[in-house]
Amino acid sequence: MSTAFRSMGMSIVQIGLPSFVESIAGSLTSYGIIIGVFSVTQSIFQYPFAAVSDKLGRRKVILFGMLIYLLGTFLCFTAQDVIQLIIYRAIQGAGAYTSILQAIIGDIYKKDQHSKGMGYYSLYMNVGYFLGFVIGGYIASFLGFRSIFLISGFLICFSILFIFFVLKENNKTEMNKNPDKNMEFNMINIKILLKERQYIFSLLFNCVRWFLFGFITAYLIWVLQDDVRGFGLSEITSSYIMLAILALYVVFIFISNKLLDRYGPRKLMMVGQIIVMVFGISFFFPDFVLNLSVFLIISSCLGIGIALFDPAGNTLLLEVIEDIQPDLKGSGIGFNNAIGFFCGAVAPMIMSPIGEIDIFFPFYVVFGLMIISLIISKFLVDKKY
């Protein structure tokens, strides 16, 4: 439930944020910074929160993180200018408790049921995220865009109450006494992995993937709602459009998972990269793409391509680490996530100023990244994958 409430609060904010930023004289660049700074502080505090929870127990630390997140959320509601909103979003991101939610699942479910627990985690996260888009559109339209942070804050309050009354601290001593040494994140293991070219290639793919995820949803919302260079849609209309695109994305994530065993990650990545490139060419003809129907079809096809690219990148990473040294999965995945989180955090800060030059320039960058990724997939990634 806490996962669903958090995801719902985040998507509620996403759909109403462009109007909020414009109301305090913000630009596309400041919009990107406001989104990015949240992810930057979240990435900085993610590991410390998780590490402290191993020593002090999940319940205390997650409640502390939620209170910081709640403080930042309500401060955002009061923001009167761009600088204040940037600072308050940084405070909001500092309450980085998502990794503890995942750790709690690991504590509750036995080892042979971890996949079941993570399945529930993903389900609640996606359901909350999708509902937030719909609810957020109506909240921003009828209650005012500033209220997106107020409603998001109330959802966090419900999460705090749920954790406080429902979650019981059980296995703190066991967590401290039985660390899995194979999952340690240390530089010695990282250096071993970085000597292997295939690991470096898989890192590059996942950096591209995180970079795309870091900006593309928020940027699409801005383009749909921008009155000057975009389509000038309302929050309600854009929320339903984003819901449809994301639903299509999730469907093809499911399909790609089914295809991975048959075709392998390398081939599936190449298919996804080619789809993004083929439809990405359209953005070089702005008069054609500025038709809303055409833009939505192309955006949906880009989502399909990225959906095929996404799980294939994760699978390639795991298979490469298995071939190098299976005991290094913890370090290899942890290093990948650390770099990926950073790429996702800086993406909106980089792409939004580019979008100030031309609304479609960020899509040209996506096209270029896919060309580079396709070349690496075709000629440098080992064909056995």
Split the chain (385 residues) into runs of 10 and give each run's mean pLDDT: 82 92 93 93 81 81 92 95 96 83 71 60 77 89 90 91 79 45 61 90 90 91 93 94 90 85 90 95 94 96 90 84 81 79 91 94 95 93 89
Ramachandran region of residue 70, left (φ > 0), alpha (ψ -120 to 50) or beta?
Answer: alpha
Tell me which H or E stretch contains 192.
helix 187-194
Question: What is the set of domains in the chain, with CATH numbers?
Answer: 1-165 (1.20.1250.20), 186-385 (1.20.1250.20)
Residue position matching structure tokens 């690219």? 309
- Rounded to whole angstroms, the Cα distance separating 185 from 174 reads 20
Residue of 370, 337, 6 lying closest to 212 (CA atoms): 370
Q: What is the pLDDT of residue 35?
A: 94
Torsion of CA 305, 308, 310, 311, to 10 degrees: 180
Ramachandran region of residue 375, left (φ > 0), alpha (ψ -120 to 50) or beta?
Answer: alpha
Q: What is the pLDDT of residue 104?
A: 77
Q: What is the pLDDT of residue 184?
A: 47
Residue of 179, 37, 168 lying closest to 104 (CA atoms): 168
- Rounded to whole angstroms, the Cα distance separating 144 from 19 reads 9
